[in-house]
Amino acid sequence: MKINFNDEKPENIYKVGNVIRKGDDFYLIARDFDDKYYFICLNQNFVSPSYDTLEELADINKDEYDVLADVEINVL
């Protein structure tokens, strides 16, 4: 995985497909086929409980220090 950090903090970083850095951990925001949203911790192989909306996921998980990470994931 290639990770580039950007100090920019967009207003709405909680979007499907984005990777958020929270402290030392990285979280992928994902949506399943039932339109449920999840926070997937890439460091600890952890999947959050499901959320009905993206806004609910963001409201519960967001922190003022969260940063959008520019990542490139290569699967071999």
For the ranges 10-14, 40-44, 51-55, the one whose mean pLDDT is highest: 51-55
Confidence check: pLDDT of 55 > 60 = yes
pTM score of the predicted model: 0.82
Residues 11, 51, 46: CA angle, nearest 5 degrees: 90
Candidates 16, 41, 14, 43; CA nearest to 30 is: 16
Mean per-residue pLDDT, 28-44: 94
Confidence check: pLDDT of 65 > 90 = no
Give 37's pLDDT tier (boundaries 50, 70, 90).
Answer: very high
